[in-house]
Amino acid sequence: MKAQGVALWLLGTALVLCSMYTHGFRRCLTSVDMHHLEECFQEIKRAVQTKDIFPNITILSTVETLRSVKPMDVCCVTKNLLEFYMDRVFKDHQELKPQILRRISSIANSFLYMQKTLQQCQVQRRCHCSEEATNATRMVHDNYDQLEVPSAATKSLGELDVFLAWIEKNHQETSPA
């Protein structure tokens, strides 16, 4: 009886720690002001999405792309997508209107802050990328490559709302208001 009790106790402790590990790791970006990002995106959303003339193609909104990411892969996928936007989307998009350019710059700065926060989280915890996480990242890049660079960049900017919603769901879920 005592052995069973000890075993059960150990198992429960392990589960709690794992949940805390994964749950805590998923919430590395809790300090990011997502509301500011969303406000910036709303100001450029119409201008960007209007230019998207390829409605049949999506980069981030595929059924199996983000919805199927497991909690353990959230850190890896988040890191990879942040690198995607910083290294390819913001650099490939050519914007002439200063108002839109200001907003895109603000979003880029917020993404940079998120990358640094995530790097600190990776130092404290292990941010291991599984095969599924790697495959999800590769799909995004493949979709981006199917289009011309300006159109792809424009479409990627148009899908920022999807990326921001996914971050909020996986990193900032707290108690009810």
Partner 1 sequence: MLPRLLVPLAALLSLRLGVGTYGSELPKPPMAWFKAEFFHHVLCWHPISNQSKSTYYEVELQWYGREPWKSLPHCSQAPALCCDVTKVTLDLYHTNGYRAKVRAVDGHRYSNWTLANTRLSLDEVTLKVDSVKLEMHEGFIFGKIQLPRPQVAPEGVTYESIFSHFRQYEIAIRKVPESFKFSSEKVNHENFSLPIPGEVGKFCVQVKPSISSRANKGIWSEEQCIVLTKQYFTVTNLSLFFALFLLLCGVLAYCLVLQLYVRRRKKLPTVLVFKKPSPFVLVSKLPYPEMQDTIHPLDIDSFQKVSLELRISDLHSSMDSGFSSTKPSLQLEEPQFLPVPSLQACGALGKGESPDLQVGCNDSGSGSSSSSTDSGICLQEPGLNPGSEPPWEKKVGSTSQGQDDSGISLIQNSEGQPGSTQGSSTLGHMTLPGPEVPEEEDPATVAFQGYLKQTRCTEEKTTVAPCLEEETPLTDDLCPQFRTCLDPEAGWPSPTLAKGYLKQDPPGITLAPSGVPPGRNQWNQLTEEWPLLGLTTCGNLGPSDWNPAHDLAPQDCVVAPGGLLGSFDSDLVTQPLISSLYSSE
Residue 176 is a binding residue for partner 1 (CB under 8 A): yes
Q: What is the DSSP letter of 125?
A: S
144, 80 Cβ separation under 8 angstroms = no
Q: For partner 1, what does the binding mask look like between residues 132 and 171, x meaning CB under 8 A?
A: --------------------------xx-xx--x--x---
Cα gap 23→41, rounded to integer Å = 28
Rounded to the nearest 10 degrees, how much is the dihedral formed by the CA atoms of 140, 128, 29, 166? 30
Using CA atoms, how far residue 157 sits from 6, 124, 135, in Å, is 54, 31, 22
Output the smallest distance, CB 125 to partner 1, in A. 24
Q: For partner 1, what does the binding mask look like between residues 38 and 77, x meaning CB under 8 A?
A: xx-xx--xx--xx--x-xxxx-xxxx--------------
Of 22 and 172, which has the nearer Cβ to partner 1? 172
On the 0-12 / 13-18 / 19+ scale of CB atoms within 10 A, 78 is: buried
Output the smallest distance, CB 4 to partner 1, in A. 39
Instruction: Give residues in contact with partner 1 (CB under 8 A).
Output: 34-35, 38-39, 41-42, 45-46, 49-50, 53, 55-58, 60-63, 158-159, 161-162, 165, 168, 172-177
